[in-house]
């Protein structure tokens, strides 16, 4: 491997961008492929499959044995709202291997007692996301019901292309949300990416059941996603 490839790979990993090192196992030549790169032919298919699955492996392309080492950032979940559902969702998400963060400016909700062992920020999403921005490998679940808190992070999630964007609220609430977003210049195609009502339809009734429905939807979206990123 060239040092240049390793240096660039480490930069991509630092910035939570997917990257792949393609090594020709016959002649030792290496190449760094980024998710936005266009790769033609049989290798292109293998590259796309690798980014989608996040799995590394050996492929045979035009008689050459190639090793594709996929480096995909670990998925994260940002929850807006330190509400009852979030208490269960933080636990389920951690179980599924997600890094989790909860943001809620309402200090009555965002207490360490209610979210023991969870990364919790009792600030406005506008302020928190400035320091730690969302990205394509982050899921955003907005659960406060309050447009003053939910709208900004939802729009930001659509803008950066979070792999999952979900918003709690009835169909009626969501219709009002779409009117506001439309007035704010969000396109119809972008708005279609919002999962609302949030969660898989498993007729969930309790906060814990809703949390399971939300997590299942996040996992499904991540595992079935196409090419993500800019």
Partner 1 sequence: MQQATLNDELKLAEQWAGDGKSVAIATVVETWGSAPRPVGSHLVIDGDGNFEGSVSGGCVEGAVVAEAMDVISSGKTRMLEFGVADEAAWEVGLSCGGRIRVYVERLGAA
Cα 31 to Cα 24, 26, 173, 217, distances in angstroms: 9, 14, 49, 35
Stretch that binds partner 1, among 51-59, 166-174, 180-188, 194-202 (CB under 8 A): 51-59
Whether omega for the bond prior to residue 7 falls within 30 degrees of 0, making it cis, is: no
Stretch that binds partner 1, among 7-15, 89-97, 162-170, 173-181 (CB under 8 A): 7-15
Contact status: 53 vs partner 1 (CB under 8 A) = no
The one-character DSSP state at 58 is E
Shorter beta-carbon distance to partner 1: residue 20 or 219: 20
Residue 33 is encoded by which pair of tokens? 């492929």
Minimum distance from residue 65 beta carbon to partner 1 (Å): 9
Q: Which residues touch 5 (CB under 8 Å, ≥6 apart)?
A: 21, 30, 31, 32
Site string for partner 1, 67-86 (x = CB under 8 A): x-xxx---------------
Whether omega for the bond prior to residue 133 falls within 30 degrees of 0, making it cis, is: no
End-to-end CA distance of the chain: give it in Å, rounded: 27
| Interface with partner 1 in residues 10-29 (CB under 8 A) | 10, 13-16, 23, 25, 28
Point out which residues bind partner 1 (CB under 8 A): 1-4, 6-7, 9-10, 13-16, 23, 25, 28, 55-58, 67, 69-71
């Amino acid at each position: 491997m060239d040092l240049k490839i390793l240096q660039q790979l480490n930069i991509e990993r630092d910035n939570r961008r997917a990257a792949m090192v393609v090594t020709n196992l016959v002649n030792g030549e290496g190449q760094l492929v980024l998710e936005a790169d266009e790769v033609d032919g049989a290798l292109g298919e293998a590259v796309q499959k690798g980014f989608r699955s996040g799995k590394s492996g050996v492929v045979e392309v035009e008689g050459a044995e190639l090793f594709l080492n996929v480096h995909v950032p670990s998925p994260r979940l940002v929850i807006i709202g330190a509400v009852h559902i979030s208490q269960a969702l933080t636990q389920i998400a951690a179980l599924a291997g997600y890094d989790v963060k909860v943001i809620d400016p309402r200090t009555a909700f965002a207490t360490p007692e209610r979210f023991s062992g969870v990364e919790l920020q009792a600030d406005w999403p506008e302020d928190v996301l400035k320091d730690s921005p969302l990205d394509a490998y982050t899921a955003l679940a907005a659960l406060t019901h309050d447009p003053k808190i939910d709208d900004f992070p939802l729009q930001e999630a659509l803008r950066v292309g979070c792999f999952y964007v979900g918003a709690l609220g009835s169909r009626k609430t969501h219709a009002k949300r779409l009117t506001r977003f439309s007035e704010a210049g969000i396109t119809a195609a972008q708005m279609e990416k919002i999962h609302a009502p949030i969660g898989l339809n498993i007729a969930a009734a309790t906060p814990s059941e809703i949390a399971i429905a939300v997590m299942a939807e996040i996992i499904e979206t991540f595992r079935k996603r196409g090419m993500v990123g800019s």
